[in-house]
Structure 1
Amino acid sequence: MGTPLEPRETQAEEVIDRLHEEYPDSAISLNFSSRLELLVAVVLSAQCTDERVNEVTADLFEKYRSAADYAEADEEELAEDIYGITFHNNKAGYLTEAGRIMVDEHDGEVPDTMSGLTDLPGVGRKTANVVLQHGHDVVEGIVVDTHVQRLTRRLGITEEERPEAIEEDLLPVVPEAEWQQFTHLLIDHGRAVCTARNPDCEDCVLADLCPSAKMDSDVDLASGEPWG
């Protein structure tokens, strides 16, 4: 069992350094060529794999090229166009309404503020952070997806449970220059090694930093529950 370094800032910086070495090309995995495409892709990615989103948006982005295209879309037809995406009916509604708001209130452009983005249906703080970072080059927070949520809790960097609370807890701990890349590094590590079930702790570069490291036990020491 590893023991976390103190303080949390020291541990977080060491985690980042090691993961940079492990994943030197870590980057966003969604395909997009504009702010609108990015926004749509991130909305679709909620509870859906990036791989599946990229498959669907390959054709979607050829058909819908502007906010007005989404605003004027037949919702049932749009739902069919994104079939295969989780909750495709709900997300079709989000996209048509978001298109209307962008046309009516933002001259057809994707908003460039947290408040403007989170006013769009289907857009929470996590989605807004992604769009700001990769669409507007504005980094004012940390994207907390399921991988970041899982890994930061396992590592003991935070004990919070809600994504918003986790982000608030991470901001003073993670160096501001790493806020954007921190998410990508943890996503890559979460997919490759620290999976939700049966994490590969023996081959994990963070094992000695992690109080949850499963070395000779089948118990998640952070939660007291079996890994599964």
Structure 2
Amino acid sequence: MQKIEKISQRKERIKKLVAKLKRMYPKPKSELKYETNFQFVVAVILSAQCTDARVNGCTNILFKTYKTPKDFAEARLEKLRIEISSVPFFRNKAKNIITAARVVQEDFNGNVPRTIEELTTLPGVAYKTANVVLGELYGIWAGIATDTHVRRFALRFDLTDNTDPTKISKDLEALTPKRDWKYVNNGFVLYGRYICPARQHACDEHPLTRIWPPSGSRWPKAK
């Protein structure tokens, strides 16, 4: 009985949080810059353990040369590594990008897949990445992608007892109607980036903290 009540309370809480995020970010979108669908896949692969700002700085030049899966599939590995060397783990990412481009070109006729199952066959594309790609490119929210921002707020707002990103995603998906999944993902990301960053600060007056005050006490007061 206690477990049912706890889930019920969490559902009510996330409902209020999402309602606020909807008002703040009515059309939440990724801040990664791209022109073609496969460029977005590349940008998301590059964004692993890297800020969007750094990725955009890299792709601002990169995407002038590479636009389609064919362009990336024909790239020389060592050259691409140099071209993306400003992002972390550029060696592995370059290899994954070229291989993913070849898979898209050969197995999907040059089109970025539209399902989680197909997307996760691409090197460098896991569950989280696949959900981001589907949501951004096709408006298909097959799940909630848990990045550092989503994980942080899921724990701070007592929406999960888990720390593993995949388990957090499943918890959030169970608490939220599918139509609102994009607000949980992109909304929390934008909120964390511009209003409540990870560094220590006082956040008791932040919009979402007012909805769930206990979250504010989890930060040391700013001096």
Query: What TM-score comes out, normalization by structure 2 length?
Result: 0.89
Report whether the alignment pairs 1:20 with 2:18: no
Partner SS state of residue 135, structure 2: helix
2:29–2:136 Cα contact (<8 Å) kept: no
Map residues 1-228 of structure 1 onto 2, 5 A cutoff.
7-24=9-26, 26-208=28-210, 209-214=212-217, 218=220
**Which residue in the other structure is 1:222 paired with?**
none
Change (3 A) 1:197 1:5: farther
- What amino acid maps onto 1:213 in structure 2? G
Partner SS state of residue 195, structure 1: coil
Take 2:113 and 2:25, find their aligned partners in 1: how far apart are those partners? 31
Aligned residues: CA RMSD: 2.2
Instruction: Give the number of the structure whose residues are more often helix, by fraction.
Output: 2
What is the CA distance between 1:105 and its match in structure 2? 1.2
How many corresponding residue pairs?
Answer: 216
Structure 1: segments with no counterpart, 5+ residues = 220-226
Take 1:140 and 1:167, find their aligned partners in 2: how far apart are those partners? 11
Structure 2: segments with no counterpart, 5+ residues = 1-5
Query: What TM-score comes out, normalization by structure 1 length?
Result: 0.87
1:12–1:174 Cα contact (<8 Å) kept: yes
Take 2:102 and 2:188, find their aligned partners in 1: how far apart are those partners? 35
What is the CA distance between 1:5 and its match in structure 2? 10
Take 1:31 and 1:152, find their aligned partners in 2: how far apart are those partners? 27
Change (3 A) 1:139 1:5: closer
What is the CA distance between 1:24 and its match in structure 2? 4.5
2:14–2:159 Cα contact (<8 Å) kept: yes
What is the CA distance between 1:206 and its match in structure 2? 2.2
What is the CA distance between 1:181 and its match in structure 2? 2.0
Take 2:201 and 2:20, find their aligned partners in 1: how far apart are those partners? 18
> Mean alpha-carbon deviation: is it higher for 92-101 or for 131-140?
131-140
Partner SS state of residue 29, structure 1: coil
- What amino acid maps onto 2:217 in structure 1? K
Partner SS state of residue 36, structure 1: helix
